[in-house]
C-alpha cells in the first residue's frame, strides 16, 4: 500500500497470530509473547493487541516503560518485565500499572519490598537465576545468602522463577542441558527454603522448539512470533510477518564504463538500465545481526560469512518475485538496482529485504489476510 508513500513496512498480524498458535500447539504449555524492542520492530501495541485477541495471557518486555506502554495500549493480561526497578519511582510504576518485575539482586528486592510495604500492598515477582548466561540473575555461589534474605520479604508473592539459555542454537545441546540441570537444582533449593513458585520458565524460541525438556511451566517466545526460525525443529512451519515495499524513484540508462555510487566501486560492464529506490543502510538494508566477536572462532565465522556474501550476495530487492542485483555501495537512504531487461517504470513497487529491528521508517501498514496473500514461510 504505497498510494501516498515512497516506502512502508507491511505487517501481517494474522501471520503473527498463526505463528503464536503453531508454537502453542507444539509446546503444549502457556506461551509468553515477548514484545520487547517494539515487538522486534513490528510495533509493540498493535502486535500485542492482536496476540491478546489470539488468546495470549502473558507478555514479556525488557523495561518498565515498555510495560506501561502496553497497559496504555489496552493490554489487560499479565506483563513480565525482565529487569528490576532501580529507583523508587520505578517501584511505584511497577505497582501502579500491575507489571510484574524480575528480581535478581538483593538491593532491588529491598527497595521494592520497602515501597510495597509503605503502600500496604503485595507485589508478585519472578526470581531470575544465572545458570550460565552471565548477565542478570542470582549466581549459584550466592544462592544461600540470597535465599536467606528473600524468604523474609513479607510483601512479595513469589510467583515465578526463571533462567535464560545462552547457547540453545549451538550444534551441541550439552551446555543448554547443563544450564537446565543447574536451574532444576535451584528450584529444589527454593522449595527447601519454603519458596514455592507456580511458574518455572527457561526456554525462549529456539530452546522451546528443540529441547522439549526445557518447556517446564511456560515458554517465552519472541523471534518465532515473527517468523524467525533459527531452530532445527522442521515440524513447525512459521510465516514471515513483515515486508518492506519501496517505490522506484528514478530509472536511468547508463553507458558502458559508467561509475555507480560512492567510491566508484562499480563500473558498468555494458550499457545498463538502473533504478533507484529510497532505502539505504540507515533503514537497515544489508545490515546483519552480527555482534562484535570476542574469540578466534567467532572471527573466523564472521570472515567466512563475509567472503560467502561477497562471492554470492543474497538478493535484497525484488520486483514481482524477481531478484534485483544491487549495484555499487548502498547509500544512507538510496540504493541502485539493476533493471536491465526488466519491464519496470518509475513508481513501481519493489520488495526490499530488511530486518524490522533496523527499519526506521515511520510508515507501517497493518494488514489482515483478506487484504492480500501471505508473505511466505521461513
End-to-end CA separation in angstroms for the chain: 23
Q: Which of 53, 237, 259, 262 is catalytic?
A: 262
In terms of DSSP bridges, do strands 349-352 and 364-367 run parallel, antiparallel, or are they unpaired? unpaired
Sheet with 335-338, side-by-side order of all strands? 250-254, 272-277, 335-338
CB 102 within 8 Å of CB 84? yes
* Selection from 299, 297, 343 nearest residue 324 by Cα: 343
Q: Which of 6, 22, 36, 240 is catalytic?
A: 36
CB 328 within 8 A of CB 260: yes
Helices (runs of H) and strands (runs of E) counted in the chain: 10, 20
How many Å is the maximal CA-CA distance in the chain?
79
Strands 242-247 and 349-352: antiparallel
Q: Computed from CA positions of residues 356, 360, 362, 363, in that sequence, does the dihedral angle turn out positive or negative?
A: negative
Asked whether the CA dihedral 292, 298, 299, 304 is positive or negative, the reply is negative
Strand order in the sheet with 7-12: 322-324, 317-319, 349-352, 242-247, 7-12, 364-367
- 158: annotated active-site residue: no
DSSP 182: H
Q: Three-state DSSP class for 330?
A: coil
Q: How many CB atoms lie within 10 A of CB 154?
A: 9
CA angle 105, 108, 111 (to 5 degrees): 145
259 is catalytic: no
Which residues are catalytically annotated? 36, 262
Amino acid at each position: 500500500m504505497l498510494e501516498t508513500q515512497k516506502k512502508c513496512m507491511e505487517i501481517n498480524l494474522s501471520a503473527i497470530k498463526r505463528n503464536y498458535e503453531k508454537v502453542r500447539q507444539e509446546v503444549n504449555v502457556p506461551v509468553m509473547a515477548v514484545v520487547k524492542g517494539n515487538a522486534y520492530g513490528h510495533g509493540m501495541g498493535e502486535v500485542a493487541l492482536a496476540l491478546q485477541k489470539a488468546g495470549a495471557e502473558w507478555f514479556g518486555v525488557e523495561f518498565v516503560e515498555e510495560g506501561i506502554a502496553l497497559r496504555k495500549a489496552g493490554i489487560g493480561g499479565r506483563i513480565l518485565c525482565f529487569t528490576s526497578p532501580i529507583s523508587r519511582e520505578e517501584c511505584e510504576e511497577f505497582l501502579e500499572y500491575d507489571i510484574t518485575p524480575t528480581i535478581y539482586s538483593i538491593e532491588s528486592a529491598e527497595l521494592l519490598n520497602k515501597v510495597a510495604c509503605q503502600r500496604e500492598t503485595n507485589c508478585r515477582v519472578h526470581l531470575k537465576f544465572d545458570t550460565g548466561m552471565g548477565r542478570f540473575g542470582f549466581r549459584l555461589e550466592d544462592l544461600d545468602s540470597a535465599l536467606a534474605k528473600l524468604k523474609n520479604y513479607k510483601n512479595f508473592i513469589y510467583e515465578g522463577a526463571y533462567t535464560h539459555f545462552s547457547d540453545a542454537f549451538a550444534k551441541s545441546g550439552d551446555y543448554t542441558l547443563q544450564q537446565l540441570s543447574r536451574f532444576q537444582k535451584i528450584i529444589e533449593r527454593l522449595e527447601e527454603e519454603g519458596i514455592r513458585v507456580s511458574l518455572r520458565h527457561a526456554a525462549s524460541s529456539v530452546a522451546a522448539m528443540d529441547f522439549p525438556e526445557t518447556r517446564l511451566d511456560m515458554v517465552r517466545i519472541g523471534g518465532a512470533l515473527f517468523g524467525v526460525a533459527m531452530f532445527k525443529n522442521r515440524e513447525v512451519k512459521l510465516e514471515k510477518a513483515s515486508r518492506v515495499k519501496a517505490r522506484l524513484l528514478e530509472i536511468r540508462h547508463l553507458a558502458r564504463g559508467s561509475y555507480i555510487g560512492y567510491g566508484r566501486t562499480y563500473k558498468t560492464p555494458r550499457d545498463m538500465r538502473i533504478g533507484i529506490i529510497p532505502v539505504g543502510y540507515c533503514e537497515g538494508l544489508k545490515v546483519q545481526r552480527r555482534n562484535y566477536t570476542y574469540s578466534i572462532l567467532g572471527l573466523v565465522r564472521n570472515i567466512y560469512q563475509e567472503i560467502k556474501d561477497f562471492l554470492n550476495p543474497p538478493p535484497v530487492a525484488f520486483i514481482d518475485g524477481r531478484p534485483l542485483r544491487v549495484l555499487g555501495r548502498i547509500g544512507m537512504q538510496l540504493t541502485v538496482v539493476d533493471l536491465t531487461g526488466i519491464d519496470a517504470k518509475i513508481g513501481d513497487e519493489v520488495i526490499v529485504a530488511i530486518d524490522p529491528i533496523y527499519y526506521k521508517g515511520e510508515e507501517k501498514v497493518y494488514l489482515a489476510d483478506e487484504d492480500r496473500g501471505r508473505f511466505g514461510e521461513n
